[in-house]
Amino acid sequence: MKARVTVTLKNGVLDPQGKAIEGALVSLGIPGIASVRQGKIFDIELAGHDAKAAEAALAAACEKLLANTVIENYRVEILG
Amino acid sequence: MRAAVITFPGTNRDGDVSRALGAGGADVSPCWHADHALPAGTDLVVLPGGFSYGDYLRTGAIAARANIMDAVRAHAARGGLVLAICNGFQIACEAGLLPGVLVRNANLRFVCRRQTLKVERTDTLFTGGYRRGQVIDVCIAHGEGNYICDAGTLARIEGEGQVAFRYCDAAGALTPDANPNGSLNHIAGIYSANLRVLGMMPHPENLIEQLTGGADGKPLFESLGRAA
């Protein structure tokens, strides 16, 4: 079973890297870029087949390590 | 004063801070991150600077989950002293010993330079050797020193006098140019609510003798050496 965890900065938290990337995209002439926020994706392979248990385990993983919930949100998707 | 200096994989300022603590009068023991207990009789835990775990995931995030950190949290909960410098400050925030978090410098550059700081209060075991409002000369060297927290936390740490040091210019003014990393309210260091845990981005251990460029870091270690 595969899962994807996405960690993004909360609204209102300054993202200097996203801003720099935004500036670079604009300077490359890519049209229509309004703003960029940078985040992280973790692709995780799971040994079991219980999607509910996996979701709970990955939520715990986010709370304990993958995200700093002071500044970041996370989303867990079980990809099957 | 019995100090335990913790080494994580990638810590590189453990030697210098041990030397500074010793010069200040402390009895210093090394301590390994994989250990489960602090040396017996530890009064002060030091989380030194460096690049623990290569700054992977988030600075300090993986070190904050090391075996020894349960013992450090228990030590802090008992009212034990903790000094967390640079990467150690990042680890302390990730471990929940201090509020807030240190993120990428606002200008995205690693800053490595001399910096002046204002000492906010002198009635703690860390800063008794300074004068209130004194401007001290220290070294900074970090890429993620931009201190942020939510508005409620900021109001609380400001209201409770938990700000230890602020980045300022040579005259003590909090000008925008004197803030090297974008930290909220120029915050360079903060205390826990009980004033027993100090986290700071600058390196006081770099400047403890005139021979090597300055001694403004020395009073911090002398003050700790006199405590307990």
Q: What is the CATH number of the domain that holds B96?
A: 3.40.50.880
- Does the active-site annotation cover B86? yes
Pairwise CA distance, residues B136 & B207, whole Å? 10
Q: Count of domains in chain A?
A: 1
State the residue for tokens 């925030």: B93
B107 inside 8 A of chain A by CB: yes
Per-residue CA distances from A5 to A43, B33, B48, B122 (Å): 7, 28, 32, 45
What residues make up the domain containing A70?
A: 2-78
**In this structure, how many other beta carbons lie within 10 angstroms of the beta carbon of residue A6?**
16
Q: Chain B residues with CB inside 8 Å of A64's CB?
A: 65
pLDDT digits (tens, 9 = 90+) for B168-200: 999 999 999 999 999 999 999 999 999 999 999
Query: Comparing C-alpha atoms, which of B219, B29, B24 is closest to residue B124?
Result: B219
**Inter-chain touch A17–B149, beta carbons under 8 Å:** no
How would you class B171 by CB atoms within 10 Å of its CB: exposed for 0-12, middle for 13-18, buried for 19 or more?
A: exposed
Round to whole Å and give the CA distance between B22 and B29.
Answer: 10
* pLDDT at res. A70: 93
Q: Is the pLDDT of residue B211 over 90?
A: yes
Among B213, B205, B189, residue whose Cα is nearest residue B93: B189
DSSP string, A30-70: -TT-------EEEEEE-SS--HHHHHHHHHHHIIIII--TT
Residue with tokens 């385990």: A57
Count of domains observed in chain B:
1
Best B101, B109, B144, B181 residue to mutate vs chain A (most A CBs within 10 Å)? B101
What integer pLDDT is reported at residue A51 of this predicted model?
A: 94
**Confidence (pLDDT) at B79:** 97
ipTM value: 0.86
- The beta-carbon neighbor of A71 closest among B62, B65, B101 is B101
User: Residue B228: pLDDT band by 50, 70, 90 thresholds?
Assistant: low
What pLDDT does residue A14 have?
Answer: 86
Contact, A72 vs A11, CB < 8 A?
A: no
Angle at B181 between CA B180 and CA B187, to 5 degrees: 90
CB B18 within 8 A of CB B28: yes
Q: The domain spanning residue A49 has which CATH number?
A: 3.30.1280.10
What's the pLDDT score for residue A44?
97
Judging by beta carbons within 10 Å of its beta carbon (0-12, 13-18, 19+), is residue A18 exposed, middle or buried?
middle
Whether chain B has a CB inside 8 Å of the CB on A69: the answer is no
Sign of the Cα torsion B35, B39, B43, B44 reads negative
Q: What is the pTM of this model?
A: 0.95
Compute the average pLDDT of residues B114-137.
Answer: 97
pLDDT for res B36: 97
Q: Suggest the residue from B57, B105, B111, B157 to mutate for an interface test with chain A (most A CBs closer than 10 A).
A: B57
Pair of tokens at residue A13:
């938290």
| B160 noted as active-site residue | no
Q: Does the annotation count B209 as an active-site position?
A: no
Chain B residues with CB-CB distance to A68 below 8 A: 58, 61, 94, 101
pLDDT at B10: 97
Residues linked to residue A78 through DSSP beta bridges, in sequence order: A3
Indicate the residue type of B136: I
Query: Looking at the complex, does the CB of residue A70 fall below 8 Å from at least one CB of chain B?
Result: yes
Compute, in degrees rounded to 10, the torsion defined by CA atoms B106, B108, B114, B119: 30
- Is pLDDT above 80 for B85? yes
pLDDT band at A80 (very low <50, low <70, confident <90, very high): confident
* Chain segment A16-64, per-residue pLDDT in tens: 889 999 999 999 999 999 999 999 999 999 998 999 999 999 999 999 9
Using a CB–CB cutoff of 8 Å, tell me whether B106 touches chain A: yes
DSSP-assigned beta bridge partners for residue B113: B140
A71 contacts in B (CB within 8 Å)? 101, 103, 148
Report the residue from A13, A16, A68 with minimal CB separation from B94. Answer: A68
Q: Do B58 and A17 touch (CB under 8 A)?
A: no
Give the closest-approach CA distance of A9 to chain B in angstroms. Answer: 11
Domain range for B116 is 2-226
